[in-house]
Amino acid sequence: MVDSTIEAIATTPPQSYGRRALKRFLKRPMAVLGLAFLVLLALIVIFGPLISPYSFDGQDFSLIGSPGPMTAEHWLGTDELGRDALTRLIYGGRVSLAVGLAGAIISTLVGTVVGAFAGFYRGWTDTLLMRFTDVMLSIPTLPLVLLLSGLFRPGPVLLVAIVGTLIWMGTARLVRSQFMALREREFVEAARALGAGGFRLMFRHILPTAIGPITVAATLAVGSAIMLESALSFLGFGIQPPVPTWGNLLNSASSWLSVAPWLAIPPGLCILFTVLSVNFLGDGLRDALEPKE
């Protein structure tokens, strides 16, 4: 009995961290579904505008004046300027997803660097960086983004930068706590004994060990960035028409709500399902990458 167990252990090939994580991830149906939806959506927003017979700002002058109904030519109808709603929805998805991804990348970079320095160096570096994080957390986010975009009237690139630099605080706190715990571990001490300097210790040795929680935070940040951008664009201070985003599509649809409700429903559904998928994916990644054992 005991022998066979030992034999079984000896003959089972050791599974890598990645393989075990994948196995755990695949056991979460909602996370897999979320990932599948996001992949599908990415394909649609990349290739959709190429297939569509309309361009996002192309107008059918015979349909100008008020929103047009859903027809065989215009599956989701047309807006008040005679533009195809489905094409604008898909193109808007391209913008919203791009903003979400880029915003999340920036936020993760800022949060990781701030958290790494605070957690690794401790002392006054930690105090200073964490007080700054507290300050940023104490300013209401949406009003601050509104203020910044009202003042600077940013183009898409600057807007992404603004969104990214306002949602990094959670990541910073998380990375800090990871670094504070990991810096005391033997492998870090060993590397230090071998002569590794601060940067090498932080980014070659500690960071890869903390990559699981950071990946989860980065995933969830995509959802926050999409939500923040669409709220901003909905209020009229984000990406400006004629470039569509899901947020500003809802802004223009809201003026035609009683006449053309079909314009107001699809962009919201897109935001809902995208953010929902991101949240499910993040949740699944958390279980896969940070097993509680």
Partner 1 sequence: MSLGYIVRRLLGAIPLLFGISLILFTIVHLAPGGPLDVYVDNPSVSKEALDQIAKAYGLDQPVPVQYVLWLKSMLVGDWGYSIRTGRPVLSEIVLRLGPTMELGGLALLLSLLIAIPLGIISASRRGSKLDGTLTLVSFAGISTPVFWLALLLQLLFSVHLGWLPSAGYKSIGDGSFPDRLAHIVMPAAVLSLATIASWSRFIRSGMVDVLNQDYIRTAYAKGRGERGVVFFHALRNALIPAVTVIAVDFGTVISGAVITETVFAWPGIGRLFMESMDGRDYPMLMGLMMMGSVGIIVANIVADLTYAALDPRIRYG
Q: Which stretch, 77-85, 191-199, 208-216, 249-257, contacts partner 1 (CB under 8 A)?
A: 249-257
- Residue 134 lies near partner 1 (rule: CB under 8 A): yes
- φ/ψ of 187, rounded to 5, equals -65, -30
Q: Which stretch, 40-48, 68-76, 107-115, 126-134, contacts partner 1 (CB under 8 A)?
A: 126-134
# residues contacting partner 1 (CB under 8 A): 44
List the one residue from 52, 59, 141, 209 that touches partner 1 (CB under 8 A): 141
Token representation of residue 71? 């027809």
- Residue 210 lies near partner 1 (rule: CB under 8 A): no
Token representation of residue 266? 């699809």
- Residue 43 lies near partner 1 (rule: CB under 8 A): no
Write the single-letter amino acid at 121. Y
List the one residue from 253, 281, 285, 288 that touches partner 1 (CB under 8 A): 253
Cβ distance to partner 1 smaller for residue 176 or 183? 176
Query: Which neighbouring-strand residues pair with 68?
Result: 78
C-alpha distance from residue 42 to each of 61, 164, 169, 180 (Å): 31, 21, 28, 37
- Residue 26 lies near partner 1 (rule: CB under 8 A): no
- Judged by phi (left if over 0) then psi (alpha if -120 to 50, else beta), residue 68 lies in beta
Taking a C-beta distance cutoff of 8 angstroms, is the pair 15, 277 a contact?
no
Taking a C-beta distance cutoff of 8 angstroms, is the pair 167, 174 a contact?
no
Least distance in angstroms from the C-beta of 25 to partner 1: 17
Cβ distance to partner 1 smaller for residue 56 or 237? 237
Contacts for 182 with CB less than 8 Å, ≥ 6 apart = 188, 206, 209, 210
Cα Rg of the chain, angstroms: 24
- Residue 280 lies near partner 1 (rule: CB under 8 A): yes
Residues that bind partner 1 (CB under 8 A): 30, 131-132, 134-135, 137-144, 146-148, 150-152, 223, 227, 230-231, 234-235, 237, 250, 253-254, 257-258, 261, 264-265, 267-268, 271-272, 275-276, 278-280, 283
